[in-house]
Amino acid sequence: MIRDLSRPYQARQGAPRIRAVHEAIFRRTYFADCRACSFCKDQCCSWGVDVDTSNMARLFAHAGPLEVRMGKSRERWFETEIRADLEFPGGRVGRTRAEEGACVFLDRDGRGCHIHAYCLESGLEVYGLKPLVSALFPLTFAEGTLVPALEVEDGSLACLGSGKSLYRGSRDALAYHFGDEFVLELDGLERLLPGTGGVGIR
């Protein structure tokens, strides 16, 4: 069921604007401690990810140290196609490249995302540099509604079925991008749903 919010909430970068949420974000669960996962083999990084052009520019501003960390030049980071999409900041979006069956930003010698690890090592705000779609996963947005990602809907996400609700696992990222009032309203919706309380129901 879709729940309308009291007002639209605009992301800090200007888009998207979320005006409704799907109840499933409070009910579906997953193993949210991604860095501690020992069984998924970074499945969610098997493909590239959509990234707006303003986020690309922020990544290019850190290109030197990222190239050293990744061992890959900036020319290899993104697909060449840029398309219009008003749900993304600036209205223009591209995609990170996939190489050898995984996103180019996947740390193949360790775990997880090079962008995420670089931010932690450098004292940078992770959500300020990591692509919005990656930061919110396993949530996403479509036509102004916050919804489970496709991998949740089709059951292919390896870490489904235990742990926190999709919402609780992404709450910090949502607060960063959409503000404290947004997550407080979602907290209120969560409390209205029986059997949730932050851990979701299977």
* Nearest by Cα to 163 from 44, 40, 34, 24: 34
Tens of pLDDT along 81-117? 999 999 999 999 999 999 989 999 999 988 899 999 9
Cβ–Cβ under 8 Å, residues 11 and 83: no
Task: Supply the angle between the helices 63-70 and 114-122 in degrees, to the nearest 10.
Answer: 120
CA atoms of 103 and 196, how far apart (whole Å) = 33
CA atoms of 25 and 200, how far apart (whole Å) = 8
CA atoms of 3 and 13, how far apart (whole Å) = 24
Could you tell me where the DSSP H helices lie in the chain?
Answer: 24-27, 53-60, 63-70, 114-122, 126-129, 132-136, 150-153, 166-178, 180-192
* Mean pLDDT in residue range 186-193: 96
Task: Please classify residue 165 by burial: count the beta carbons closer than 10 Å to its beta carbon, then call 0-12 exposed, 13-18 middle and 19+ buried.
Answer: buried
Asked whether residue 45 carries a pLDDT value surpassing 80, the answer given is yes
Asked whether residue 199 carries a pLDDT value surpassing 70, the answer given is no
Residue 202 confidence (pLDDT): 36
